[in-house]
Chains A and B, each alone.
Chain A
Protein backbone atom coordinates (compact mmCIF):
# COMPACT_ATOMS: atom_id res chain seq x y z
CA UNK A 1 0.00 0.00 0.00
CA UNK A 2 1.88 3.06 -1.24
CA UNK A 3 -0.85 5.65 -1.32
CA UNK A 4 -4.48 6.31 -0.45
CA UNK A 5 -7.07 8.82 -1.61
CA UNK A 6 -10.40 9.74 -0.06
CA UNK A 7 -12.86 12.28 1.23
CA UNK A 8 -12.06 14.04 4.50
CA UNK A 9 -13.89 13.86 7.83
CA UNK A 10 -12.49 16.81 9.81
CA UNK A 11 -12.29 17.23 13.60
CA UNK A 12 -10.61 19.65 16.04
CA UNK A 13 -8.18 19.46 18.96
CA UNK A 14 -7.98 16.73 21.62
CA UNK A 15 -10.28 14.15 20.01
CA UNK A 16 -10.22 11.62 22.85
CA UNK A 17 -10.61 7.85 22.77
CA UNK A 18 -13.90 8.10 24.67
CA UNK A 19 -15.54 9.90 21.75
CA UNK A 20 -13.78 7.70 19.18
CA UNK A 21 -15.29 4.61 20.83
CA UNK A 22 -17.35 5.18 24.00
CA UNK A 23 -16.55 2.79 26.87
CA UNK A 24 -20.14 1.54 26.90
CA UNK A 25 -19.21 -0.43 23.77
CA UNK A 26 -15.97 -1.87 25.15
CA UNK A 27 -17.77 -5.04 26.19
CA UNK A 28 -17.01 -6.34 22.70
CA UNK A 29 -13.78 -6.94 20.81
CA UNK A 30 -15.60 -7.39 17.48
CA UNK A 31 -14.12 -5.01 14.93
CA UNK A 32 -17.44 -4.74 13.11
CA UNK A 33 -19.40 -3.87 16.26
CA UNK A 34 -16.78 -1.31 17.31
CA UNK A 35 -16.88 0.30 13.85
CA UNK A 36 -20.67 0.62 14.14
CA UNK A 37 -20.18 3.08 17.04
CA UNK A 38 -17.04 4.87 15.82
CA UNK A 39 -17.03 8.64 16.62
CA UNK A 40 -20.57 8.30 17.98
CA UNK A 41 -20.23 10.88 20.78
CA UNK A 42 -18.61 13.57 18.61
CA UNK A 43 -20.25 12.94 15.20
CA UNK A 44 -23.26 10.66 15.27
CA UNK A 45 -23.57 10.80 11.47
CA UNK A 46 -20.01 9.58 10.87
CA UNK A 47 -20.89 5.89 10.58
CA UNK A 48 -23.57 6.69 8.02
CA UNK A 49 -21.41 9.05 5.98
CA UNK A 50 -18.06 7.25 5.99
CA UNK A 51 -17.04 5.37 2.86
CA UNK A 52 -14.25 2.86 2.38
CA UNK A 53 -11.01 4.75 1.80
CA UNK A 54 -12.08 8.05 3.42
CA UNK A 55 -9.52 10.04 5.38
CA UNK A 56 -9.80 11.49 8.88
CA UNK A 57 -8.10 14.82 9.64
CA UNK A 58 -7.86 16.42 13.09
CA UNK A 59 -5.76 18.97 14.90
CA UNK A 60 -3.57 18.48 17.98
CA UNK A 61 -3.41 15.57 20.44
CA UNK A 62 -5.62 13.15 18.48
CA UNK A 63 -6.48 10.01 20.44
CA UNK A 64 -5.76 11.34 23.91
CA UNK A 65 -7.02 9.47 26.96
CA UNK A 66 -7.44 5.77 27.32
CA UNK A 67 -5.06 3.11 25.99
CA UNK A 68 -7.95 1.22 24.39
CA UNK A 69 -6.73 -0.35 21.16
CA UNK A 70 -10.43 -0.50 20.30
CA UNK A 71 -10.10 3.18 19.18
CA UNK A 72 -7.74 2.72 16.19
CA UNK A 73 -9.45 -0.62 15.50
CA UNK A 74 -12.86 1.11 15.26
CA UNK A 75 -11.47 3.80 12.94
CA UNK A 76 -9.74 1.27 10.69
CA UNK A 77 -12.75 -1.06 10.61
CA UNK A 78 -15.03 1.86 9.69
CA UNK A 79 -13.13 2.14 6.40
CA UNK A 80 -10.80 5.09 7.15
CA UNK A 81 -7.58 4.68 5.15
CA UNK A 82 -5.43 7.23 6.97
CA UNK A 83 -5.59 9.67 9.90
CA UNK A 84 -3.76 12.98 9.54
CA UNK A 85 -3.29 15.18 12.63
CA UNK A 86 -1.05 17.95 13.96
CA UNK A 87 -0.02 15.62 16.78
CA UNK A 88 -1.14 12.28 18.17
CA UNK A 89 -1.38 11.21 21.80
CA UNK A 90 1.43 8.73 22.36
CA UNK A 91 -0.49 5.55 23.20
CA UNK A 92 -2.82 6.05 20.23
CA UNK A 93 0.20 6.64 17.97
CA UNK A 94 1.77 3.36 19.02
CA UNK A 95 -1.51 1.45 18.87
CA UNK A 96 -2.29 2.74 15.36
CA UNK A 97 1.02 1.41 14.05
CA UNK A 98 0.60 -1.85 15.96
CA UNK A 99 -2.81 -2.57 14.40
CA UNK A 100 -1.94 -1.26 10.94
CA UNK A 101 -3.87 2.02 10.77
CA UNK A 102 -1.87 4.50 8.65
CA UNK A 103 -1.30 7.85 10.42
CA UNK A 104 0.55 11.02 9.43
CA UNK A 105 1.66 13.97 11.55
CA UNK A 106 1.48 17.24 9.60
CA UNK A 107 0.56 20.47 11.34
CA UNK A 108 -0.02 22.57 8.21
CA UNK A 109 -2.17 20.00 6.44
CA UNK A 110 -4.16 19.41 9.64
CA UNK A 111 -4.94 23.14 9.88
CA UNK A 112 -5.69 23.74 6.19
CA UNK A 113 -7.69 20.72 5.10
CA UNK A 114 -11.44 21.11 5.43
CA UNK A 115 -14.30 18.70 5.93
CA UNK A 116 -15.33 17.16 2.62
CA UNK A 117 -12.05 17.91 0.80
CA UNK A 118 -10.63 15.16 -1.41
CA UNK A 119 -7.13 14.29 -0.17
CA UNK A 120 -4.44 11.85 -1.26
CA UNK A 121 -1.49 10.60 0.79
CA UNK A 122 1.74 9.08 -0.53
CA UNK A 123 3.24 7.01 2.30
CA UNK A 124 6.65 6.65 0.64
CA UNK A 125 7.30 10.35 0.19
CA UNK A 126 5.07 11.74 2.94
CA UNK A 127 3.40 14.03 0.39
CA UNK A 128 -0.19 14.93 1.27
CA UNK A 129 -2.17 16.48 -1.59
CA UNK A 130 -5.44 18.33 -1.19
CA UNK A 131 -7.00 17.41 -4.54
CA UNK A 132 -9.79 19.92 -3.93
CA UNK A 133 -7.50 22.96 -3.57
CA UNK A 134 -4.42 21.59 -5.33
CA UNK A 135 -2.19 22.40 -2.34
CA UNK A 136 0.48 19.91 -1.25
CA UNK A 137 2.07 19.32 2.15
CA UNK A 138 5.16 17.41 3.19
CA UNK A 139 4.95 15.11 6.21
CA UNK A 140 7.80 12.97 7.51
CA UNK A 141 7.27 9.48 6.03
CA UNK A 142 7.67 6.53 8.38
CA UNK A 143 10.88 4.53 8.12
CA UNK A 144 10.55 1.42 5.99
CA UNK A 145 10.07 -1.04 8.84
CA UNK A 146 7.14 0.93 10.28
CA UNK A 147 5.62 1.19 6.79
CA UNK A 148 5.97 -2.57 6.52
CA UNK A 149 4.22 -3.11 9.87
CA UNK A 150 1.31 -0.97 8.69
CA UNK A 151 1.23 -2.58 5.22
CA UNK A 152 1.04 -6.06 6.74
CA UNK A 153 -1.91 -5.00 8.86
CA UNK A 154 -0.09 -4.63 12.16
CA UNK A 155 2.78 -5.76 14.37
CA UNK A 156 1.62 -9.34 14.84
CA UNK A 157 1.37 -10.07 11.11
CA UNK A 158 4.73 -8.38 10.70
CA UNK A 159 6.59 -10.56 13.21
CA UNK A 160 4.82 -13.84 12.57
Chain B
Protein backbone atom coordinates (compact mmCIF):
# COMPACT_ATOMS: atom_id res chain seq x y z
CA UNK B 1 0.00 0.00 0.00
CA UNK B 2 1.36 3.41 -0.92
CA UNK B 3 2.26 6.13 1.54
CA UNK B 4 1.23 9.76 1.73
CA UNK B 5 3.88 12.47 1.67
CA UNK B 6 3.57 12.93 5.45
CA UNK B 7 3.90 9.18 6.06
CA UNK B 8 7.07 9.03 3.95
CA UNK B 9 8.77 11.75 6.00
CA UNK B 10 7.78 10.02 9.24
CA UNK B 11 8.99 6.64 7.97
CA UNK B 12 12.35 8.06 6.92
CA UNK B 13 12.89 9.68 10.32
CA UNK B 14 11.87 6.49 12.12
CA UNK B 15 14.33 4.43 10.06
CA UNK B 16 11.50 2.40 8.56
CA UNK B 17 10.80 1.47 4.94
CA UNK B 18 7.09 1.76 5.44
CA UNK B 19 4.56 3.04 7.95
CA UNK B 20 0.78 2.72 8.07
CA UNK B 21 -1.89 5.03 9.44
CA UNK B 22 -2.41 4.35 13.14
CA UNK B 23 1.06 2.88 13.69
CA UNK B 24 3.01 4.20 16.68
CA UNK B 25 6.57 5.16 15.81
CA UNK B 26 9.52 6.93 17.38
CA UNK B 27 11.23 9.37 15.04
CA UNK B 28 14.34 11.56 15.03
CA UNK B 29 13.72 15.28 15.06
CA UNK B 30 15.43 17.89 12.87
CA UNK B 31 14.20 20.85 14.91
CA UNK B 32 12.53 21.39 18.30
CA UNK B 33 10.88 24.78 18.77
CA UNK B 34 9.54 26.75 21.71
CA UNK B 35 8.48 30.33 22.43
CA UNK B 36 8.38 32.59 25.50
CA UNK B 37 5.06 31.12 26.68
CA UNK B 38 5.75 27.42 26.19
CA UNK B 39 9.53 27.22 26.76
CA UNK B 40 9.41 28.14 30.47
CA UNK B 41 7.04 25.21 31.12
CA UNK B 42 9.34 22.95 29.07
CA UNK B 43 12.41 24.17 30.97
CA UNK B 44 10.68 23.40 34.29
CA UNK B 45 10.03 19.88 33.00
CA UNK B 46 13.62 19.59 31.69
CA UNK B 47 15.06 20.61 35.03
CA UNK B 48 12.47 18.58 36.94
CA UNK B 49 13.79 15.37 35.44
CA UNK B 50 17.40 16.37 36.17
CA UNK B 51 18.48 16.54 32.54
CA UNK B 52 21.93 18.08 32.14
CA UNK B 53 22.32 18.35 28.37
CA UNK B 54 20.37 18.89 25.17
CA UNK B 55 20.53 16.44 22.27
CA UNK B 56 21.87 18.99 19.78
CA UNK B 57 22.28 22.70 20.49
CA UNK B 58 21.90 23.54 16.79
CA UNK B 59 18.53 21.77 16.48
CA UNK B 60 16.62 23.69 19.13
CA UNK B 61 15.01 27.05 18.42
CA UNK B 62 13.66 29.36 21.10
CA UNK B 63 11.89 32.49 19.91
CA UNK B 64 10.77 35.22 22.30
CA UNK B 65 7.76 36.44 20.36
CA UNK B 66 4.46 36.24 22.22
CA UNK B 67 4.74 38.88 24.95
CA UNK B 68 7.84 40.72 23.71
CA UNK B 69 9.18 43.35 24.04
CA UNK B 70 8.07 42.22 27.49
CA UNK B 71 4.67 43.56 28.37
CA UNK B 72 4.94 43.08 32.13
CA UNK B 73 7.15 41.79 34.90
CA UNK B 74 5.91 38.20 34.75
CA UNK B 75 6.58 37.88 31.02
CA UNK B 76 9.99 39.49 31.55
CA UNK B 77 10.74 36.81 34.15
CA UNK B 78 9.76 34.14 31.64
CA UNK B 79 12.11 35.53 29.00
CA UNK B 80 14.87 35.81 31.60
CA UNK B 81 14.40 32.13 32.42
CA UNK B 82 14.59 31.11 28.75
CA UNK B 83 17.53 33.43 28.05
CA UNK B 84 19.46 31.91 30.97
CA UNK B 85 18.68 28.40 29.77
CA UNK B 86 19.77 29.26 26.22
CA UNK B 87 23.03 30.71 27.56
CA UNK B 88 23.73 27.72 29.80
CA UNK B 89 23.12 25.12 27.10
CA UNK B 90 24.51 27.27 24.24
CA UNK B 91 21.29 27.07 22.24
CA UNK B 92 22.38 28.39 18.85
CA UNK B 93 18.98 29.44 17.59
CA UNK B 94 17.82 31.59 20.47
CA UNK B 95 16.12 34.73 19.16
CA UNK B 96 15.45 37.65 21.47
CA UNK B 97 14.32 41.24 20.87
CA UNK B 98 16.47 42.71 18.10
CA UNK B 99 16.81 39.43 16.22
CA UNK B 100 13.48 37.80 16.82
CA UNK B 101 10.43 37.60 14.65
CA UNK B 102 7.17 35.72 14.96
CA UNK B 103 8.45 32.15 15.19
CA UNK B 104 6.68 30.73 12.13
CA UNK B 105 7.72 33.66 9.98
CA UNK B 106 11.27 33.50 11.36
CA UNK B 107 12.22 29.82 11.08
CA UNK B 108 11.54 29.50 7.33
CA UNK B 109 13.24 32.88 6.71
CA UNK B 110 16.36 31.80 8.62
CA UNK B 111 16.49 28.49 6.75
CA UNK B 112 16.04 26.41 9.92
CA UNK B 113 13.30 24.31 8.36
CA UNK B 114 12.99 23.02 4.81
CA UNK B 115 11.95 20.21 2.49
CA UNK B 116 11.87 16.84 4.26
CA UNK B 117 12.44 18.23 7.78
CA UNK B 118 10.70 16.66 10.77
CA UNK B 119 9.84 19.42 13.23
CA UNK B 120 7.96 19.61 16.51
CA UNK B 121 7.17 22.90 18.17
CA UNK B 122 5.48 23.86 21.40
CA UNK B 123 3.13 26.11 19.46
CA UNK B 124 0.10 24.88 17.57
CA UNK B 125 0.97 26.81 14.40
CA UNK B 126 4.19 24.83 13.97
CA UNK B 127 2.28 23.14 11.14
CA UNK B 128 3.24 26.21 9.01
CA UNK B 129 6.44 24.58 7.68
CA UNK B 130 4.47 22.02 5.71
CA UNK B 131 4.41 24.76 3.08
CA UNK B 132 8.06 23.88 2.39
CA UNK B 133 7.47 20.14 2.18
CA UNK B 134 8.33 19.45 5.83
CA UNK B 135 6.38 17.40 8.36
CA UNK B 136 5.85 19.76 11.24
CA UNK B 137 3.37 19.66 14.06
CA UNK B 138 2.48 21.40 17.29
CA UNK B 139 3.01 19.71 20.65
CA UNK B 140 2.94 20.70 24.30
CA UNK B 141 5.78 21.73 26.57
CA UNK B 142 6.40 18.24 27.98
CA UNK B 143 6.93 16.90 24.47
CA UNK B 144 9.21 19.85 23.76
CA UNK B 145 11.27 19.01 26.86
CA UNK B 146 11.48 15.33 25.92
CA UNK B 147 12.49 16.37 22.39
CA UNK B 148 15.22 18.69 23.69
CA UNK B 149 16.64 15.87 25.81
CA UNK B 150 16.35 12.92 23.44
CA UNK B 151 16.05 14.40 19.94
CA UNK B 152 13.11 12.10 19.38
CA UNK B 153 9.34 12.08 19.65
CA UNK B 154 6.68 9.40 19.34
CA UNK B 155 3.96 9.82 16.76
CA UNK B 156 0.80 8.04 15.79
CA UNK B 157 1.09 7.93 12.00
CA UNK B 158 -1.81 10.01 10.63
CA UNK B 159 -4.15 9.17 7.80
CA UNK B 160 -4.74 12.02 5.37
CA UNK B 161 -7.27 14.10 3.49
CA UNK B 162 -6.27 15.19 -0.01
CA UNK B 163 -7.10 18.66 -1.26
CA UNK B 164 -6.74 18.98 -5.03
CA UNK B 165 -6.37 22.68 -5.81
CA UNK B 166 -7.11 23.53 -9.44
CA UNK B 167 -7.25 26.75 -11.45
CA UNK B 168 -5.89 30.22 -10.82
CA UNK B 169 -7.24 32.38 -8.00
CA UNK B 170 -8.76 35.70 -9.02
CA UNK B 171 -7.27 39.06 -8.04
CA UNK B 172 -7.78 39.73 -4.29
CA UNK B 173 -8.08 36.00 -3.55
CA UNK B 174 -5.09 34.85 -1.47
CA UNK B 175 -3.89 31.88 0.52
CA UNK B 176 -5.95 33.16 3.46
CA UNK B 177 -9.18 33.02 1.45
CA UNK B 178 -8.34 29.49 0.29
CA UNK B 179 -7.74 28.12 3.77
CA UNK B 180 -10.75 29.93 5.27
CA UNK B 181 -12.88 28.47 2.47
CA UNK B 182 -11.56 24.97 3.22
CA UNK B 183 -12.15 25.29 6.99
CA UNK B 184 -15.63 26.57 6.23
CA UNK B 185 -16.21 23.42 4.17
CA UNK B 186 -14.82 20.79 6.54
CA UNK B 187 -15.22 22.47 9.96
CA UNK B 188 -12.85 23.08 12.86
CA UNK B 189 -12.53 19.35 13.51
CA UNK B 190 -12.83 18.27 9.87
CA UNK B 191 -9.25 17.03 9.75
CA UNK B 192 -8.90 15.99 13.41
CA UNK B 193 -5.73 13.89 13.96
CA UNK B 194 -5.12 13.82 10.17
CA UNK B 195 -2.75 15.25 7.59
CA UNK B 196 -4.05 17.78 5.09
CA UNK B 197 -2.15 17.13 1.86
CA UNK B 198 -2.44 19.79 -0.81
CA UNK B 199 -1.88 18.95 -4.45
CA UNK B 200 -3.10 19.93 -7.92
CA UNK B 201 -2.17 22.28 -10.74
CA UNK B 202 -3.48 25.32 -8.86
CA UNK B 203 -0.50 25.20 -6.50
CA UNK B 204 1.77 26.72 -9.11
CA UNK B 205 -0.14 30.01 -8.69
CA UNK B 206 0.46 30.08 -4.95
CA UNK B 207 3.49 31.95 -3.63
CA UNK B 208 5.49 30.59 -0.70
CA UNK B 209 3.73 33.17 1.48
CA UNK B 210 0.32 31.88 0.33
CA UNK B 211 1.38 28.31 1.10
CA UNK B 212 2.79 29.23 4.53
CA UNK B 213 -0.54 30.90 5.32
CA UNK B 214 -2.54 27.84 4.21
CA UNK B 215 -0.39 25.31 6.08
CA UNK B 216 -0.38 27.61 9.13
CA UNK B 217 -4.13 27.23 9.55
CA UNK B 218 -4.28 23.44 9.10
CA UNK B 219 -4.54 23.27 12.90
CA UNK B 220 -7.74 25.32 12.71
CA UNK B 221 -9.31 22.32 10.99
CA UNK B 222 -7.91 20.10 13.76
CA UNK B 223 -5.17 18.67 11.54
CA UNK B 224 -1.91 17.19 12.77
CA UNK B 225 -0.11 18.77 9.83
CA UNK B 226 -0.65 20.42 6.47
CA UNK B 227 1.78 19.78 3.65
CA UNK B 228 2.58 20.94 0.10
CA UNK B 229 4.64 19.14 -2.53
CA UNK B 230 8.05 20.64 -3.30
CA UNK B 231 8.22 22.49 -6.62
CA UNK B 232 10.28 25.22 -8.27
CA UNK B 233 8.67 27.88 -6.07
CA UNK B 234 9.82 25.97 -2.97
CA UNK B 235 13.28 25.33 -4.39
CA UNK B 236 13.78 28.96 -5.29
CA UNK B 237 12.80 30.00 -1.76
CA UNK B 238 14.96 27.43 0.02
CA UNK B 239 18.00 27.57 -2.25
CA UNK B 240 20.86 29.30 -0.44
CA UNK B 241 18.66 29.73 2.63
CA UNK B 242 17.91 26.27 4.05
CA UNK B 243 20.75 25.25 6.36
CA UNK B 244 19.97 21.53 6.13
CA UNK B 245 19.94 19.17 3.20
CA UNK B 246 16.61 19.32 1.38
CA UNK B 247 14.95 15.98 0.73
CA UNK B 248 11.97 16.01 -1.58
CA UNK B 249 9.23 13.50 -0.81
CA UNK B 250 6.24 12.81 -3.01
CA UNK B 251 3.11 10.89 -2.15
CA UNK B 252 2.85 7.46 -3.81
CA UNK B 253 0.42 7.15 -6.71
CA UNK B 254 -1.50 4.54 -4.73
CA UNK B 255 -1.43 6.39 -1.41
CA UNK B 256 -4.71 6.00 0.45
CA UNK B 257 -6.68 9.07 1.52
CA UNK B 258 -9.69 9.14 3.84
CA UNK B 259 -11.32 11.75 1.64
CA UNK B 260 -10.51 13.89 -1.40
CA UNK B 261 -11.77 17.43 -1.99
CA UNK B 262 -11.31 19.23 -5.29
CA UNK B 263 -11.32 23.00 -5.04
CA UNK B 264 -11.43 25.25 -8.10
CA UNK B 265 -9.43 28.26 -6.94
CA UNK B 266 -10.78 30.39 -9.79
CA UNK B 267 -14.25 30.23 -8.23
CA UNK B 268 -13.24 31.41 -4.75
CA UNK B 269 -14.09 34.85 -3.40
CA UNK B 270 -12.46 36.83 -0.59
CA UNK B 271 -13.68 35.03 2.53
CA UNK B 272 -14.28 36.14 6.12
CA UNK B 273 -14.66 33.96 9.24
CA UNK B 274 -17.25 35.36 11.63
CA UNK B 275 -17.09 35.01 15.44
CA UNK B 276 -16.34 32.75 17.21
CA UNK B 277 -14.93 29.93 15.10
CA UNK B 278 -12.76 29.87 11.96
CA UNK B 279 -15.39 27.62 10.31
CA UNK B 280 -18.07 30.37 10.38
CA UNK B 281 -17.17 31.61 6.92
CA UNK B 282 -18.97 33.87 4.47
CA UNK B 283 -17.78 35.27 1.18
CA UNK B 284 -17.22 39.00 1.08
CA UNK B 285 -20.44 39.29 -0.97
CA UNK B 286 -22.49 37.99 1.95
CA UNK B 287 -20.99 39.71 4.97
CA UNK B 288 -23.59 42.45 5.27
CA UNK B 289 -22.86 45.66 7.14
CA UNK B 290 -20.38 44.96 9.94
CA UNK B 291 -18.96 48.05 11.61
CA UNK B 292 -15.48 47.63 13.05
CA UNK B 293 -13.24 49.32 15.62
CA UNK B 294 -9.84 47.81 14.92
CA UNK B 295 -7.86 46.21 12.11
CA UNK B 296 -4.86 43.97 12.76
CA UNK B 297 -2.55 43.07 9.87
CA UNK B 298 0.22 40.68 10.85
CA UNK B 299 0.80 37.37 12.72
CA UNK B 300 2.35 34.03 11.78
CA UNK B 301 -0.51 33.68 9.30
CA UNK B 302 -0.26 36.98 7.42
CA UNK B 303 2.69 39.07 8.61
CA UNK B 304 4.96 38.42 5.64
CA UNK B 305 6.27 40.90 3.07
CA UNK B 306 3.72 40.02 0.39
CA UNK B 307 0.94 40.52 2.94
CA UNK B 308 2.25 43.98 3.77
CA UNK B 309 2.60 44.81 0.07
CA UNK B 310 -1.03 43.87 -0.56
CA UNK B 311 -2.17 45.94 2.42
CA UNK B 312 -0.10 48.88 1.18
CA UNK B 313 -1.53 48.59 -2.33
CA UNK B 314 -5.00 48.99 -0.86
CA UNK B 315 -4.09 51.74 1.62
CA UNK B 316 -1.95 53.85 -0.74
CA UNK B 317 -3.23 57.41 -0.82
CA UNK B 318 -6.21 56.55 1.39
CA UNK B 319 -7.08 57.33 5.01
CA UNK B 320 -8.10 54.95 7.79
CA UNK B 321 -11.72 55.58 8.85
CA UNK B 322 -12.34 57.77 11.88
CA UNK B 323 -12.44 55.78 15.12
CA UNK B 324 -10.74 52.74 13.55
CA UNK B 325 -7.31 51.73 14.84
CA UNK B 326 -5.20 49.96 12.22
CA UNK B 327 -2.22 48.06 13.65
CA UNK B 328 0.37 46.55 11.33
CA UNK B 329 2.86 44.00 12.65
CA UNK B 330 5.64 42.91 10.27
CA UNK B 331 6.54 39.29 11.05
CA UNK B 332 10.32 39.56 11.38
CA UNK B 333 13.10 42.14 11.55
CA UNK B 334 14.00 41.38 7.92
CA UNK B 335 10.40 41.84 6.78
CA UNK B 336 10.33 45.08 8.77
CA UNK B 337 13.48 46.36 7.01
CA UNK B 338 12.31 45.27 3.57
CA UNK B 339 8.92 46.91 4.07
CA UNK B 340 10.60 50.10 5.25
CA UNK B 341 12.98 50.23 2.29
CA UNK B 342 10.12 49.66 -0.14
CA UNK B 343 8.35 52.68 1.30
CA UNK B 344 5.43 50.69 2.70
CA UNK B 345 5.71 52.38 6.09
CA UNK B 346 5.17 55.80 4.49
CA UNK B 347 1.95 54.50 3.00
CA UNK B 348 0.81 52.97 6.30
CA UNK B 349 1.64 55.96 8.47
CA UNK B 350 0.24 58.47 6.00
CA UNK B 351 -2.98 56.48 5.96
CA UNK B 352 -3.16 56.68 9.76
CA UNK B 353 -2.02 53.16 10.64
CA UNK B 354 0.65 52.28 13.22
CA UNK B 355 3.56 49.92 12.56
CA UNK B 356 4.68 47.71 15.44
CA UNK B 357 7.78 45.75 16.22
CA UNK B 358 7.36 42.04 15.33
CA UNK B 359 5.27 40.31 18.01
CA UNK B 360 2.37 37.88 18.30
CA UNK B 361 0.86 40.61 20.48
CA UNK B 362 -2.85 41.14 19.81
CA UNK B 363 -3.42 37.83 18.00
CA UNK B 364 -3.73 36.03 21.32
CA UNK B 365 -4.82 39.01 23.37
CA UNK B 366 -1.32 39.47 24.73
CA UNK B 367 -0.65 43.18 24.16
CA UNK B 368 -0.37 45.83 21.41
CA UNK B 369 -4.05 46.04 20.52
CA UNK B 370 -6.47 44.55 23.04
CA UNK B 371 -10.20 44.94 22.38
CA UNK B 372 -12.68 46.56 24.79
CA UNK B 373 -16.14 45.21 25.59
CA UNK B 374 -18.35 45.17 22.52
CA UNK B 375 -15.58 46.04 20.06
CA UNK B 376 -15.05 44.33 16.73
CA UNK B 377 -11.82 43.69 14.87
CA UNK B 378 -11.02 42.53 11.38
CA UNK B 379 -7.83 40.59 11.76
CA UNK B 380 -5.47 38.68 9.47
CA UNK B 381 -4.67 36.33 12.37
CA UNK B 382 -5.82 32.72 12.70
CA UNK B 383 -8.30 32.41 15.58
CA UNK B 384 -11.51 34.23 16.45
CA UNK B 385 -12.38 32.36 19.64
CA UNK B 386 -14.30 34.03 22.47
CA UNK B 387 -12.05 36.58 24.19
CA UNK B 388 -9.06 35.76 22.02
CA UNK B 389 -8.10 39.40 21.37
CA UNK B 390 -9.37 40.93 24.57
CA UNK B 391 -12.69 41.36 26.32
CA UNK B 392 -14.90 38.29 26.45
CA UNK B 393 -17.62 40.34 24.72
CA UNK B 394 -15.44 41.46 21.80
CA UNK B 395 -15.52 39.97 18.30
CA UNK B 396 -12.91 38.98 15.73
CA UNK B 397 -13.52 38.60 11.99
CA UNK B 398 -10.71 36.71 10.26
CA UNK B 399 -9.78 37.89 6.77
CA UNK B 400 -6.97 38.43 4.27
CA UNK B 401 -4.67 41.48 4.35
CA UNK B 402 -6.56 42.92 1.35
CA UNK B 403 -9.95 42.68 3.07
CA UNK B 404 -8.48 43.94 6.35
CA UNK B 405 -6.91 46.99 4.66
CA UNK B 406 -10.09 47.77 2.71
CA UNK B 407 -12.12 47.50 5.91
CA UNK B 408 -9.76 49.89 7.68
CA UNK B 409 -10.54 52.53 5.07
CA UNK B 410 -14.32 52.27 5.23
CA UNK B 411 -14.81 51.22 8.87
CA UNK B 412 -16.94 48.29 7.72
CA UNK B 413 -15.93 44.83 6.46
CA UNK B 414 -15.27 45.65 2.83
CA UNK B 415 -14.43 44.02 -0.48
CA UNK B 416 -10.97 45.27 -1.55
CA UNK B 417 -12.27 45.61 -5.11
CA UNK B 418 -14.60 48.36 -3.90
CA UNK B 419 -12.20 50.87 -2.35
Contact = CB atoms under 8 A, between A and B. Distances in A.
A16 B49 CA distance: 30
Contact of A160 (B49, B141, B277): B49
Contact of B365 (A23, A42, A90): A23
A147 interface: no
A29 interface: yes
B188 A61 contact: yes
A72 B139 CA distance: 13
A16 B278 CA distance: 12
A94 B139 contact: yes
B95 to A, nearest CB: 19
Nearest to B360: A23
Contact of B222 (A64, A99, A155): A64
A94 B143 contact: yes
A18 B386 contact: yes
Contacts of A73: 41
A78 interface: no
Contacts of A90: 192-193, 222, 224
Interface string A67-99: 111101100000000000001011100110011
B370 to A, nearest CB: 8
Interface string B344-375: 00000000000000000000111000000000
A14 B72 CA distance: 31
Contacts of A98: 140, 142-143
A157 to B, nearest CB: 8
Contacts of B141: 69
A18 B192 contact: no
Contacts of B126: 67
Contact of B139 (A24, A67, A70): A67
Interface string A33-49: 00000000110000000
B383 interface: yes
Contacts of B143: 94-95, 98
B67 interface: yes
Interface string A45-64: 00000000000000011001
Contacts of B162: none
Looking at chain B, what size class is its interface with the partner chain? 35 or more
A65 B78 CA distance: 22
Interface in B99-132: 121-124, 126
Contacts of B49: 156, 159-160
Contacts of B78: 27, 29
B188 A68 contact: no
Contacts of A66: 123-124, 364, 383
Contacts, number: 123
Nearest to A160: B49
Interface string B124-152: 10100000000000111111011000000
A94 B140 CA distance: 8
A29 B38 CA distance: 9
A18 B222 contact: no
B44 interface: yes
Interface secondary structure of B, over-half rule: loop
A26 B189 contact: no
Contacts of A95: 139-140, 142-143
A112 B121 CA distance: 36
A9 B187 CA distance: 25
B74 A27 contact: yes
Nearest to A71: B140
B392 interface: yes
B386 A19 contact: yes
Contacts of A23: 37, 66, 364-366, 388
A66 B392 CA distance: 17
Contact of B383 (A18, A22, A70): A18
A89 B189 contact: yes
A73 B226 CA distance: 27
Contacts of A89: 189, 192, 222
Contacts of A60: 189
A156 B145 contact: yes
Interface of B: 37-38, 40-41, 44-45, 48-50, 66-67, 71-72, 74-75, 78, 121-124, 126, 138-143, 145-146, 188-189, 192-193, 219, 222, 224, 277, 364-366, 383, 385-388, 392
16 contacts: A16-B385, A18-B387, A18-B388, A26-B37, A26-B67, A28-B74, A29-B41, A29-B44, A61-B222, A65-B385, A66-B123, A67-B126, A67-B139, A91-B140, A95-B143, A160-B49
Given A23-B388, A159-B49, A160-B49, 6 more contacts: A23-B366, A24-B366, A65-B383, A65-B385, A66-B383, A67-B123
Interface of A: 14, 16, 18-19, 22-24, 26-29, 41-42, 60-61, 64-70, 72-73, 87, 89-91, 94-95, 98-99, 154-156, 159-160
